[in-house]
Amino acid sequence: MRFGLSAAACSAILLLSTAPALAVGPAHSYSLDGTLADALGGPSLSLVNGATLGASGVSFDAGQGLALTSAAFADSHVYSIGLDFSFSSLQNYNRIINSNGVDAGLYIHGSFAPVVDYYHFGAYDGGAFSVGDMHHLLFTRDDDGISVYLDGNNVLNTAPFSSSVITSSSVLFFVDDQSENAPGFVSSICTYNSKLSASDAAALGGGSCAVSGNSGAVPEPASWTMLVGGFGLVGAAVRRRRSSVAFS
């Protein structure tokens, strides 16, 4: 028995077969959906200075945030961190990641035309950042350099400054040593024991984590719609073929 596949069905099948694959899954995965626990069994995050855990993420005011023990990182020189977050307002410098307890580090810089910035005694500005919108940010580091991706786009590449080596007992998120921080919301955090590449950033599909440690990319909702619709057309074609055979 033979039958033809529709264009929609073929596209849906091709979508899954050509989806970009993440080279390595996360070492730690925090969905922050009412829990601070690591979905992969590692150490939990902790709230800092009164940040609030809700059903879909953590809300923080200026001076508040999250902390993760530095023991969660296999190598203090080689790691990546992904976050899905928003800032509700900004000042001149707004801390994102603090790995060493000093002023240098990753920020959103500027309150009128904010950009991603790695501050190391001089501004290293990257892509534009919008206030009030959820963004996916991926920070990657090894001894060859630092790369930052915002919403899947490579916005910053700079030297492997010593200030990005993890030297504190805990890595802090959104908490700064000089009160350069902003209020906002974070819905997920993941860490990786390698420096992720541009293709890895694309494979994450705008989210900080590969789901449940799965190394494959997760299709977008529209892709799922196409996939389900395509399989439905395949089933309809099979039923029509069987009906024609039964009454011939």
Mean pLDDT: which of 22-36, 47-61, 168-182, 230-244 is highest?
A: 47-61
- Give the model confidence (pLDDT) of 83-132 as tens digits: 999 999 999 999 999 998 888 899 999 988 899 999 987 778 888 899 99
The answer, yes or no, to whether residue 171 has pLDDT greater than 70, is yes
Please give the Cα distance from 128 to 115 (Å, whole number). 4
**Are residues 239 and 247 in contact, defined by beta-carbon separation less than 8 angstroms?**
no
Of 76, 52, 53, 126, the residue nearest 96 (C-alpha): 126
Domain 22-211 has CATH 2.60.120.200: yes
Is a pLDDT exceeding 60 seen at residue 5? Answer: no
Looking at residue 224, what is its pLDDT?
38
pTM for the complete prediction?
Answer: 0.78
What does the DSSP 8-state code read for residue 21? B
Summarize the confidence of residues 192-208 as an average pLDDT: 85
pLDDT at 66 over 70: yes
Residue 98 CA to residue 174 CA, distance in Å, equals 8
**Which percentage of the chain shows pLDDT scores above 70?**
74
Find the farthest-apart pair of alpha carbons in the chain and give their distance in angstroms, rounded.
Answer: 82
pLDDT tens digits along 124-161: 888 889 999 999 999 999 999 999 999 989 999 999 99
Q: Where are the domains of the chain?
A: 7-15+221-246, 22-211
What is the model's pLDDT at position 229?
52
**73 vs 7, more confident:** 73
